[in-house]
Amino acid sequence: MPELTTCVIDAHHHYWLHGKRHHKWPDKVDGRLDRSFLPNDLIPEMEQAQVNGCILVQSLNDYDETCEFLHIANQYPHILGVIGWLPLNGAKETLKYFEEAPLQHLLVGVRHLINFEPDPKWLLQAHVLDSISVLEDQNLVFDVVPVNDDQFESVIKIASAFPKLSIVIDHLARPSIGSGKSVAWSNQIHRIAQLPNVSIKLSIGLDILMGWKWSNEEMQTFIDEVLISFGSERVMAASNWPVCTLAAQYSDVWEGIRKSVRNLSQPDQAKVLGENAFRIFSLSRSPIIN
């Protein structure tokens, strides 16, 4: 693993070529994401925001997209790793697809968009559990975003059942920013933070972004609770670009993230802004954008 100097890593962003694959957005998005978002769109934004590298995350439960992302990452060194998608239909199938994936060294994690599964306990099915054991064996991070209380409970059970599996929760576990902090969210955050194999990203999800104007003040109470619960060792800065552009410019997102951790010590700020992502995802590339 290369030596890491002080840097900022965006632990969550997406790319897509409009029209190549089908993304179905809620009506509130109002066509604002219906165009291509590609590396050459993001790199100038990263330079302006002083972000040194990023992690590319699947946007569809689609193996072809994952293969494409791995090839894109191989061409663009600002992409430090890919969180892709593998079928979680049983250990043999998951392992087969993993072994056939191109540029395996750039695949640092796997995410399945469980919000598309009608069964809130889908993660707890036997064939899915078998597949998750493969992720644990291959040292792949399991990246997940629960969208309701039942799904959150399933993630807690998975984290307990696989203590050697690194699990990363996306988008602050989707709290109701703008509507006040819920007791259920606080309780689940506290419970899952007790499991040392679980980390969390400071990004904001589509459900909030599509109808909300970016507000550092409204975010702060949620971020503070996450920092208190998880500590500075298991929290990662992330933008969710280009989805974040529904509520703010990329540079404004990063200004907000930096403000949200300003009360931490300098070493702890460095952990949240980049070092944790580098360590938790076992990245093999050094950040390169100055």
Percentage of the chain beyond pLDDT 70 is 96
29-84: pLDDT as tens digits: 999 999 999 999 999 999 999 999 999 999 999 999 999 999 999 999 999 999 99
User: Does the pLDDT value for residue 272 go beyond 80?
Assistant: yes
Percentage of the chain beyond pLDDT 90 is 85
Name the 3-class secondary structure at 197.
Answer: coil
User: Does the pLDDT value for residue 4 go beyond 60?
Assistant: no
Q: Are 142 and 168 in contact (CB under 8 A)?
A: yes
Q: Which of 59, 67, 49, 80 has the alpha carbon at shortest distance from 239? A: 49
User: Does the pLDDT value for residue 181 go beyond 80?
Assistant: no
HSE, side-chain direction, 13 A CA sphere, residue 156? 16
Q: Are 38 and 17 in contact (CB under 8 A)?
A: yes
Q: Which domains does the chain have, with CATH numbers?
A: 9-280 (3.20.20.140)
Helical ranges in 101-210 per DSSP H: 126-137, 149-161, 183-193, 206-209
pTM of the model: 0.95
Tokens representing 281? 């995802």
Q: Which of 1, 10, 2 has the alpha carbon at shortest distance from 276? A: 10
Of the chain, the end-to-end C-alpha distance in Å amounts to 20
215-234: pLDDT as tens digits: 999 999 999 999 999 999 99
Q: What span, in angstroms and rounded, lies between the C-alpha atoms of 2 and 83? A: 20
Residue 1 CB contacts under 8 Å (≥ 6 apart), including other chains: 282, 283, 284
Mean predicted confidence (pLDDT) in 136-145: 97
Q: What single DSSP character describes residue 82? A: E
> Angle of helix 126-137 relative to helix 91-100, nearest 10 degrees?
40
